[in-house]
Structure 1
Amino acid sequence: MKKDIMQVHQEVIKRQDEAAKNPNHPINDGLNTYFEERKRKLAEIKKSQSK
C-alpha cells in the first residue's frame, strides 16, 4: 500500500502530538532511556564525590 507523502506527514504529526501529551507513549521510549541513564551517571558522580 503506497501512501501519499502528506498522509504520512499528518500521521507523524498526530503521533508526535500524542507522545507530547503522554510521557509513557512508545515514541518516548528512547528519550526515557536516555534520561534514566543520565540520572544513573549523575548518581554515580554524586556518590563518588561524597566519599
Structure 2
Amino acid sequence: MSPKIAERGFRKSANTLRSEAVLRLKETGPSPKNALGRAKAMPHIPYP
C-alpha cells in the first residue's frame, strides 16, 4: 500500500470521525461538559 493511498484512507477516516462528532453534538445539544469531553477525546485535525 503506497503512502498516498494510506494518507487518503486516514484523511477519510478523520473526516468520518469529525462528521460523527458533529452528528453527536446535534443529538446531545450544546453543553460545555460535552464540548470539553469531545475536545479531549478528539484532538484537532489540521486540514492540508
1:1-51, CA deviations, whole angstroms, 9 ceiling, x for partnerless residues?
Answer: xxxxxxxxxxxxxxx3xx6xxxxxx23000000000000000000011001
Superposed structure 1 runs of 4+ greater than 2 Å apart: none
Bigger RCO of structures 1 and 2 (CA < 8 A, at least 6 apart): 2
Unpaired runs of 5+ residues, structure 1, are 1-15, 20-25
Q: Which has the larger radius of gyration?
A: 1
The equivalent of 2:15 in structure 1 is 37
Identity of aligned residues (%): 14
Question: TM-score normalised to the size of structure 2?
Answer: 0.52
Aligned length: 28
TM-score, normalised via structure 1 length: 0.49
